[in-house]
Amino acid sequence: MNRGHFRSDSSRRAQEASSASDAVEHHATVNRSSRRIVVTVGVAAVLAMIFFVNLSYLMAFKRGVQAYLYGYPLVSMDVTRQVMTAPQVARVPGARLRLGAGPINQFTHVGEFPDPTFKDVVAPNADTLYSIAWLDLKAEPLVLSMPDMHGRWVLMEVLDAWTNAYASLGTRQYGGGPRQYLITGPGWTGTVPAGMIQIKSPTNMNWIIGRTYTKDAADFAPVHALQVQYRLTTLSKFLNQPIAVDPAHATGGAVDTTTPVLTQVARLNTREFFSRLAALMGDNPPSPSDKAMVDLLGRLGIVTAQPFAWDRLDAATRNGLEDAVWFVRALFEARSPGTQGPTDTNRVQEAFFRWANAAMSKVMLNSHNGWLVPLNLGRYGTNYALRAMVTLVGLGANVPEDAVYPSTAVDEGGHPLDGINRYQLHFERNALPPARTFWSLTMYDSKGFFVENPIRRYAIGDRNGLHFNQDGSLDLWIQRQQPETERSSNWLPAPAGPFKLYMRIYDPKPEVLENRWVPPVIQRIH
């Protein structure tokens, strides 16, 4: 009550005495009601604030998961490019240098098949020799010159910065004759020289992964003679009109060439990762179909070619983003987040983990007879989760029209393959892998590397002089010990412990692409 309302005249206090008690009682009632109102309003305000903070956190967490999955391929490609184009220096005399590493805008050729000591890349192949080049199209286009292949299969797979295999240059699409391709970056509006085929890249960063069919070690020399004729030339040099900017001589900061790329990307903190993503999107613009995702990134302060607005985000949003990054990395490691997260949101994360793991398993692979058959790689559209997972486990995947790689690690009973056992892979007559060019079956240990064996055979296929049964069927024998003489030609040596198998079907026929042919089961021999 307002103290000014009290009167000081004592003569009137007596007259007001009877009403005073009523006033006091009324005041007490009002005061209690006011306190209840104040408390109620205060609690509501606190709850509203908590709700707002939690909502901000949850929205940032959800958007952060989507943003990390979306940006992971672009950031991974950039780190891979940095490592592979950095100058190489052997740490000790005779040390193996990085596979396919070399200066930008130049080919680096791999002259032999990897052996079991090679650990740079998981699941290497023993069917082709590689020719690798990283391209920077920002300054000007590049001319790719290919010789007459004289009937030998070749594929120049060209990936954009987001890992989409947007061009397949070689035997399947253009035949094996001599050709010149002009690879142009986004926004280039110049004139294509006569006789060249223009290949329009959506990004300035490109990766060429060239594969040339190679039968065996005796076939290396003819392949080498072709590889040296694969050439990359800047358009200005090709036209004898050199320009001043040469990305091949650009310099940058120190590059870690010893730590695996996957580890380097995983070590980027939230701010570093999204800052790098925003910067890279300037030269490597998102697809028009990514508009919804670009808008989502903008709501998180991640804007193309602009500094990441980390400091302008509220604490709840920053926490949500950090937890999202941690969560996706846990998902990549194929483990449940459990109770290891930095905040107490495990029930939400557990549910999201189960959903994401199941969703990506469904969209990524078809499963037949224990084989996982990927038929949707290389072109991802808006399937950002699939694109991220392929980046993680097989960066550089080609489109299925060029090759399909079924894989398995189980026998017909679903038991893990192990060298303690013997196995048989039986193909019925006229049911061999339907390849227009060639096929193979490659042995890997549990980590995805070649297996040491006495005959140095890491893969077997249609170029190995296989022995067919009288009825036209084919049996491959998969075991650690060499089988009896008549089976040796069809023997794929296995390690002492767990292993997995990759089938490679190059230039597959329609029955593979349409899911009408599936590999037979791996049968354990009892």
Q: How far apart are CA 211 and CA 214, in angstroms?
A: 9
pTM of the entire structure? 0.82
Which amino acid belongs to residue 183?
A: I
Angle at 232 between CA 231 and CA 236, to 5 degrees: 130
pLDDT interval class at 468 (50, 70, 90):
very high
What three-state secondary structure class fits 241? coil
Q: For residue range 139-149, list pLDDT tens digits in order.
A: 999 999 999 99
Q: What is the DSSP-derived secondary structure letter of residue 218?
A: G
Q: How many CB atoms lie within 10 A of CB 220?
A: 16
C-alpha distances out from residue 253 to 82, 245, 250, Å: 10, 19, 11
Q: What is the mean pLDDT of the chain?
A: 84
Name the one residue in this structure whose structure tokens are 């026929």: 509
Domain residue ranges in the chain: 108-242, 403-525
Q: What is the mean pLDDT of residues 278-306?
A: 97
Q: Does residue 14 carry a pLDDT above 50?
A: no
**pLDDT of amino acid 249:** 44
% of the chain at pLDDT higher than 90: 65
Give domain 108-242's CATH superfamily. Domain of unknown function DUF1254 (2.60.40.1610)
CA 461 to CA 442: how far, in whole Å? 9
Residue type at 497 in one-letter notation: G
So what's the pLDDT on residue 350?
52
Which of these ranges, 40-49, 110-119, 297-306, 427-436, has the smallest mean pLDDT? Answer: 40-49
| Average pLDDT rounded to a whole number, residues 146-170 | 97
Amino acid at 247: P
Give long-range contacts, CB 8 A cutoff, 24+ apart: 169-176.
Answer: 169/144, 169/199, 170/146, 171/437, 171/507, 172/401, 172/402, 172/507, 176/148, 176/149, 176/150, 176/151, 176/152
User: What span, in angstroms and rounded, lies between the C-alpha atoms of 309 and 304?
Assistant: 12
Residues 403-525, CATH architecture: Sandwich (2.60)
pLDDT (mean) for 6-10 = 36
The Cβ of residue 311 has, within 10 Å, a number of other Cβ atoms equal to 9
Each residue of 223-264: pLDDT tens digit? 999 999 999 999 999 999 877 555 544 445 678 888 888 889
415-458 per-position pLDDT tens digit: 999 999 999 999 999 999 999 999 999 999 988 889 999 999 99
Q: Who contacts 432 (Cβ-Cβ below 8 Å, separation ≥6)?
A: 439, 462, 474
* First CA to last CA distance, the chain: 97
- Res. 371: pLDDT tops 90: yes
Could you give the CA distance from residue 153 to residue 171 in angstroms, rounded to a whole number? 6
Strand bridging mode 403-404 / 407-408: unpaired
Q: Which of 257, 225, 259 is nearest to 131 (CA)?
A: 225
CA distance 464 to 460: 6
> In this model, does residue 128 exceed pLDDT 80?
yes
- Phi/psi for 142 (5° steps) reads -125, 145
pLDDT confidence of residue 261: 85
Average of per-residue pLDDT across 363-367: 57
Neighbours of 21 (CB within 10 A): 10
135: confidence class by pLDDT, cuts 50, 70, 90: very high
Q: Are strands 197-200 and 179-184 parallel, antiparallel or unpaired?
A: parallel
Q: Which helix (H) or strand (E) holds 180?
A: strand 179-184
Report yes or no: 325 and 64 within 8 Å, Cβ to Cβ. Answer: yes
pLDDT in tens, 32-41: 454 444 444 4
Q: Considering only CA atoms, which of 102, 104, 103, 96 is closest in space to residue 120?
A: 96
The answer to whether 324 and 64 have CB atoms below 8 angstroms apart is yes
Q: Note whether 401 and 395 are within 8 A (CB).
A: no
Run of H or E including 361: helix 346-364
Contact call for residues 475 and 426 (beta carbons, < 8 A) = yes
Higher pLDDT, 407 or 24: 407
Report whether pLDDT(95) > 70: no
Cα Dmax for the chain: 132
Per-residue model confidence (pLDDT) at position 343: 40
* Per-residue buried b or exposed e for 468-484, using 16+ beta carbons within 10 Å of the residue's own CB: eeeeeebebbbbbeeee
Q: What percent of the chain has pLDDT over 70?
A: 79
Residue 287 has pLDDT above 90, yes or no: yes
